[in-house]
Structure 1
């Protein structure tokens, strides 16, 4: 049977700040992220299966990515636990949605986090192939399973 890759694209808004960074990104700022998730597997061969001919139902992939990444991250602030988080989040109502992470929330590190979250939820016959996260129209990072296994 042939291996096939499926890709689903997502869009969300998120802010972050890079603790102890020496450029403009040390300030809290936001991006309109474009996130592409590619999985790989063999299409279901059983003609009696409701998923016949599918590697994975696009709706199932959408549900996983929305629950693990898009819904929690959309319109949130992501900050490293090394930053003085309590001081940054003291403004009432403006910091209701935030994530304190154990890493510097760069585009690269976000992908590593997202890969772990998504991989844990995929069906056993489907593998995560790659992720691509656009921070801007012309700046993005990519993660490939083949580089990390």
Structure 2
């Protein structure tokens, strides 16, 4: 049976925007919220589309981490003391939405499941988020 489901996950992480002039140029933290809508066919035996904990596991990769642009000169210095997750560009909510969407879809593709992320929202604050929709690819 084809079905659509929703999962919300939060994580805490710091970042900075290397190419932005303003407050977000400084290293700072957020309580990020990720909302994911998935669709696909349920497993015939279990009637489950996905285990909600699998979505959490993908998002938890970022929890309590420092996320920086791979070109950021702070990366090597911080790595002397703490792990750094690097991104191909400034770690904005827009970029994190794409990276998390791709990681979720790859996880299921690698297991032979055809699961699509219909919509993903990454909230950087309670009043601002980035949204990607499958039909906008």
TM-score range, shorter chain: 0.7 to 0.9
- TM-score normalised to structure 1 length: 0.79
- 2:24 alignment partner in structure 1: 25
Distance 1:43 1:14, change over 3 A: same
Checking the alignment, whether the CA contact within 8 Å between 1:14 and 1:30 is kept in structure 2 is: yes
**Alignment gaps of 5+ in structure 2:** none
Write the deviation string for residues 68-117 of structure 1: whole angstroms up to 9, x where unpaired. Answer: 221x2101111112210223x1674xxx2321222111110111111111
- SS of the counterpart of 1:112? helix
Unaligned runs of 5+ in 1: none
In 1, the alpha carbon distance for the partners of 2:86 and 2:65 equals 11
RMSD over aligned Cα atoms: 1.9
Residues 8 and 62 of structure 1 are in contact (CA less than 8 Å); yes or no, is this contact kept in structure 2?
A: no
Q: How many pairs align?
A: 133
Worse overlay, 111-120 or 34-43: 34-43
Q: Residue 56 of structure 2: which of 48, 59, 66 is its match?
A: 66
Higher CA-based Rg: 1
Alpha-carbon separation, structure 2, partners of 1:83 and 1:126: 34
